[in-house]
Amino acid sequence: MTTLAQLTGALARLDREVVYTPQDFDRIARFMHEATGIRLTEANERMVYARLAGRVQDLGLDSFAAYVDLATLALAEEERDRLISSLTTNTTHFYRESYHFDFFAQQILPDIAARGRAGERIRIWSAGCSTGEEPFSIAMCLLQGFPDAAAHDVKILATDIDRAVLARAAAASYPPGSLRDVPKTLIDSCFDAVPGTDHLMPKAPIRAMVTFRPLNLIEPWPFRGRFDVIFCRNVAIYMDGDTQEQIWTGFHRVLRPGGHLFIGHSERLSPSLKGGFTIVGNTIHRRNADPAAGR
Ligand SMILES: C[S@@+](CC[C@H](N)C(=O)[O-])C[C@H]1O[C@@H](n2cnc3c(N)ncnc32)[C@H](O)[C@@H]1O
């Protein structure tokens, strides 16, 4: 229950001006670009104010300039992460762009199951996984067509720059709206009720397929082996062309020849990647063999 003192405090906060200038926005935009590759434009000026003003006030500061000084201090790692988390767009839901999962189940999974059962190492990466709906959708799909996947060397890695969404992904508790695109038959077989809430949680074998890790796509990637499939959907759209190209090039490097890359519905690979991939479906690309290697 909200007390009178809390209410009065909240009203006082609303009254207090937080000074926010175009120069503050420029500094925040520059910081976000350098730290994440995300490009904020003038159209985002109000959004930045709306998402950060409360935090500026909670810290007892009266200007964005003071807040940016604080958050970008070398030692203020936690506040820096919080700032990044406040300004990333984390929208997602289960089976988003469901044609990708149909393609995965029909065109990719039979080969993955055969190779996995033959003892090959199978790795799938959900890059920019947000709160986990995407990698759990992949795991659901995988276990439908390859129910013994866990008995083989098959893993799904799910990464994001935003530690707050990764914490929610690890909790794996989802409101019904997030499951709106999940086929009805799968809801019963793949989810358990979360006691005391109307939320649902993917069943334990689905959760066990996915490992969540923080990873910034614009920093060096720590992988040794290659991936069979990469989903990186609705992440690059917020970045500038050079950063996108750098990320697509990286995916080409870490995908095995014949592996697949799924990107968001409004994203396109940079022209320089044209020879590296073949378009095999709507925003679905198959990595070509390296000509010199002949495979
Ligand atoms: C809109 S969500 C996409 C979620 C999911 N892929 C989908 O399509 O439903 C974009 C995610 O990309 C993450 N992101 C943005 N910049 C990133 C970066 N430089 N490295 C890793 N993740 C990043 C954000 O934190 C956010 O969770």
Say if residue 122 is in the same domain as residue 81: no
Say if residue 33 is in the same domain as residue 152: no
Domain assignment present for 93: no
Say if residue 82 is in the same domain as residue 147: no
Domain assignment present for 258: yes
Say if residue 217 is in the same domain as residue 165: yes
pLDDT of 82 over the 60 cut = yes
pLDDT of 292 over the 50 cut = yes
Query: pLDDT tens-digit profile of 171-227?
Result: 999 999 999 999 888 999 999 999 999 999 999 999 999 999 999 999 999 999 999
Report DSSP state, residue 63.
B
Judge if the beta carbon of residue 97 lies within 6 A of ligand 1. no
Say if residue 160 is in the same domain as residue 251: yes
* Catalytic residue (one of 27, 39, 51, 117): 51
Say if residue 130 is in the same domain as residue 183: yes
Say if residue 70 is in the same domain as residue 131: no
pLDDT of 1 over the 90 cut = no
CATH number for the domain spanning 270: value is 3.40.50.150
The mean pLDDT of 264-287, rounded to a whole number, is 96
Q: Catalytic annotation on 24?
A: no
Strand segments (E) across the chain: 122-127, 154-160, 191-193, 200-202, 210-214, 227-232, 255-263, 277-281, 284-287
Say if residue 273 is in the same domain as residue 200: yes
If you take atom 12 of ligand 1, which residue's CA is the nearest one?
128
∠ CA 278-281-286 to the nearest 5 degrees? 30
Contacts (Cβ under 8 Å, ≥6 apart) of 214? 159, 160, 161, 163, 166
CA of 25 to the centre of ligand 1 (A): 22
Report DSSP state, residue 44.
G
Domain assignment present for 106: yes
Query: pLDDT tens-digit profile of 142-168?
Result: 999 999 999 999 999 999 999 999 999
Query: pLDDT tens-digit profile of 16-34?
Result: 589 999 999 999 999 999 9
Q: Is 221 helix (H, G, I), strand (E, B) or coil?
A: coil
The pLDDT mean for the chain works out to 93
Q: Catalytic annotation on 160?
A: yes
Strands 122-127 and 227-232: parallel
Say if residue 82 is in the same domain as residue 102: no
Say if residue 19 is in the same domain as residue 78: yes
Q: What is d(CA 184, CA 202) in angstroms, rounded to the nearest whole number? A: 14
Domain final residue pick, 56, 87, 118: 87
Please give the residue range of the domain that contains residue 211.
98-287
Say if residue 269 is in the same domain as residue 220: yes
pLDDT computed for residue 16 by the predictor: 56
Say if residue 83 is in the same domain as residue 108: no
If you take atom 19 of ligand 1, which residue's CA is the nearest one?
36
Q: What is d(CA 97, CA 263) in angstroms, rounded to the nearest whole number? A: 10
Predicted confidence band of residue 75 (pLDDT cuts 50, 70, 90): confident
pLDDT computed for residue 51 by the predictor: 97
pLDDT of 241 over the 70 cut = yes
If you take atom 9 of ligand 1, which residue's CA is the nearest one?
92
Judge if the beta carbon of residue 131 lies within 6 A of ligand 1. no
Which residue in this structure is represented by tokens 């990107």? Answer: 263
- State the CB neighbour count (10 A cutoff) for residue 234: 20
